[in-house]
Amino acid sequence: MTVERTLAIIKPDAIAKGVAGQIVTRIEEAGFKILAAKLIHMSPEDAAGFYIVHKALPFYRSLCAFMTQGPCLPMVLEGDHAIQRWRELMGATDPAKAAPGTIRKAFAASIEANVVHGSDSPTSAAFEISYFFSSLELCPRSNRGD
């Protein structure tokens, strides 16, 4: 058993389409523990900082604009091999390549409007979780070692 934490985001397109609840249900049914969650509307600076690793890529500006078009729902998920398992549940970045049964296959419209995000490694999970959440926001208290 390798318990990990990962950052998931239900993106603005999913909130606008009203499928956030269905995505949360899939997360819960897959056995993840939701340690923290908050609905936020990112500023351009927030999005630019979050996706800083993609700064040199041609879709960076468009991606940042997309992520600021409405509220999104970042969450911290915990579970056995959570980083890889959440990526499997999301499906491929491009929904046209996503496997049947995945969240992106079910709900995503395009490679940009792809409804969910997930950390791709322990290093990025640590950065991304701390980008949105302080240690005091990770619930319940027992998970923080109090």
Which residues contact ligand CMP (rule: CB under 6 A)? 59, 63, 93, 111-112, 114, 117
- If the CB atoms of residues 35 and 64 are measured against ligand CMP, the closer one turns out to be 64
Q: Is 117 a catalytic residue?
A: yes
DSSP character string of 112-125 = SS-SEEE--SHHHH
- If the CB atoms of residues 57 and 144 are measured against ligand CMP, the closer one turns out to be 57
CB of 80 to ligand CMP, least distance (A): 21
DSSP character string of 76-106 = EEEEETHHHHHHHHH--SSGGGPPTTSHHHH
Hey, which residues does 6 pair with through a beta bridge? 77
CB of 18 to ligand CMP, least distance (A): 20
CB of 115 to ligand CMP, least distance (A): 9
The percent helix, strand, coil of the chain (3-state, each to 5) is 45, 20, 35
- If the CB atoms of residues 11 and 36 are measured against ligand CMP, the closer one turns out to be 11
Q: Which residues are catalytic?
A: 117
